[in-house]
Structure 1
Amino acid sequence: MSCVNPVVFYFPQPSLKKTPLFDFHRENGGKMVEFAGWSMPVQYKDSHIASHVHTREHCSIFDVSHMLQTKVHGKDRVKFMESLVVADIAELKDNQGILSLFTNEKGGIIDDLIVTKTDCGYLYIVSNAGCADKDSAHMKFRAAGLDVDLEFLDEALIAVQGPTMSHVLQEGLKEDLGKLSFMTSTLATVFGVPGCRVTRCGYTGEDGVEISVPQSRVVELTEKLMANREVKLAGLGARDSLRLEAGLCLYGSDIDETTTPVEAALVWTIGKRRRQTKDFPGADIVIPQIKSKTARKRVGLVSTGPPVRQHTPVLSPDGKVIGKVTSGCPSPCLKKNIAMAYVDAAFAKNETALQVEVRKKAVPATVSKMPFVPTNYFYG
Structure 2
Amino acid sequence: MAGLIRPCLALQDGLKQTPLHAFHRQQGGKMVNFAGWSMPVQYALSHLESHLHTRQHCSLFDVSHMLQTKVFGRDRVKFMESLVVGDIAELKPDQGTLSLFTNEEGGILDDLIVTSTSEQHLYVVSNAGCREKDWALMQGRAEDLRAAGGDVHLEVSENALLALQGEVTSGCPSPCLKKNVAMGYVEGEQSRVGTVVAVEVRKKSCPALVTRMPFVPTRYHMLK
- How high is the TM-score relative to the length of structure 1? 0.45
Tell me how far 1:195 sits from its aligned partner.
8.6
Match of 2:217 in 1: 378
* Residues 1:191 and 2:191 aligned together: no
Match of 1:240 in 2: none
**Aligned 8 A contact 1:55 1:161 in 2:** yes
> 1: CA distance between counterparts of 2:89 and 2:165?
29
Give the root-mean-square deviation of aligned CA atoms.
3.4
Which letter maps to 2:15? L
Match of 1:84 in 2: 83
> 1: CA distance between counterparts of 2:97 and 2:132?
22
Match of 1:129 in 2: 128
**Aligned 8 A contact 1:59 1:165 in 2:** yes
Residue in structure 1 matching 2:166, options 157, 162, 168? 162
> 2: CA distance between counterparts of 1:14 and 1:74?
38
Residue in structure 1 matching 2:186, options 172, 175, 178? 178
Match of 2:222 in 1: none
- More strand per residue: 2
Task: Report the 3-state secondary structure (helix = DSSP H, G, I; strand = E; otherwise coil) of the residue aligned with 1:177.
Answer: coil
Q: How does 1:96-175 map to 2 (within 5 A)?
A: 96-144=95-143, 145=146, 146-168=150-172
> 2: CA distance between counterparts of 1:57 and 1:115?
28
When Rg is computed on C-alpha atoms for both structures, the one with the higher figure is 1
| More displaced 10-residue stretch of structure 1: 56-65 or 163-172 | 163-172
Q: 1:54 to 1:172 in 2, by over 3 A?
A: closer
Q: 1:29 to 1:52 in 2, by over 3 A?
A: same
Q: 1:159 to 1:51 in 2, by over 3 A?
A: same
Q: 1:131 to 1:47 in 2, by over 3 A?
A: same
- How high is the TM-score relative to the length of structure 2? 0.74
> 2: CA distance between counterparts of 1:46 and 1:140?
41
Residue-by-residue CA offset, 1:148-174 (whole Å, 9 max, x unaligned): 12111010111112233122389657x
Which letter maps to 2:201? F
Task: Report the 3-state secondary structure (helix = DSSP H, G, I; strand = E; otherwise coil) of the residue aligned with 1:178.
Answer: coil
> 2: CA distance between counterparts of 1:196 and 1:153?
20
Task: Report the 3-state secondary structure (helix = DSSP H, G, I; strand = E; otherwise coil) of the residue aligned with 2:90.
Answer: coil
Match of 2:3 in 1: none
Which letter maps to 1:379? T
Which letter maps to 2:169? M
Tell me how far 1:104 sits from its aligned partner.
1.0
**Aligned 8 A contact 2:95 2:211 in 1:** no
Match of 1:71 in 2: 70
| Overall identity of the aligned pairs, in % | 58
Match of 1:226 in 2: none
* Residues 1:26 and 2:34 aligned together: no
Q: 1:190 to 1:136 in 2, by over 3 A?
A: farther
Q: 1:75 to 1:13 in 2, by over 3 A?
A: closer
Q: How does 1:321-360 map to 2 (within 5 A)?
A: none
Task: Report the 3-state secondary structure (helix = DSSP H, G, I; strand = E; otherwise coil) of the residue aligned with 1:166.
Answer: coil
Task: Report the 3-state secondary structure (helix = DSSP H, G, I; strand = E; otherwise coil) of the residue aligned with 2:132.
Answer: helix
Which letter maps to 2:163? A
Structure 1 alignment gaps of length 5 or more:
1-11, 208-376
Task: Report the 3-state secondary structure (helix = DSSP H, G, I; strand = E; otherwise coil) of the residue aligned with 2:31.
Answer: strand
Structure 2 alignment gaps of length 5 or more:
1-10, 220-224
Residue-by-residue CA offset, 1:20-59 (whole Å, 9 max, x unaligned): 1112111101111111111111110011111111112222
Tell me how far 1:140 sits from its aligned partner.
1.5
Task: Report the 3-state secondary structure (helix = DSSP H, G, I; strand = E; otherwise coil) of the residue aligned with 1:50.
Answer: helix
**Aligned 8 A contact 1:103 1:109 in 2:** yes
> 2: CA distance between counterparts of 1:187 and 1:153?
25
Larger relative CO (CA 8 A, sep 6+): 1 or 2? 2
Tell me how far 1:139 sits from its aligned partner.
1.1
**Aligned 8 A contact 1:95 1:186 in 2:** no
Q: How does 1:282-293 map to 2 (within 5 A)?
A: none
Task: Report the 3-state secondary structure (helix = DSSP H, G, I; strand = E; otherwise coil) of the residue aligned with 2:23.
Answer: helix
| More displaced 10-residue stretch of structure 1: 98-107 or 192-201 | 192-201
> 2: CA distance between counterparts of 1:97 and 1:160?
16
> 2: CA distance between counterparts of 1:134 and 1:44?
30
- The number of aligned residues is 194
Task: Report the 3-state secondary structure (helix = DSSP H, G, I; strand = E; otherwise coil) of the residue aligned with 1:25.
Answer: helix
Q: 1:189 to 1:14 in 2, by over 3 A?
A: farther
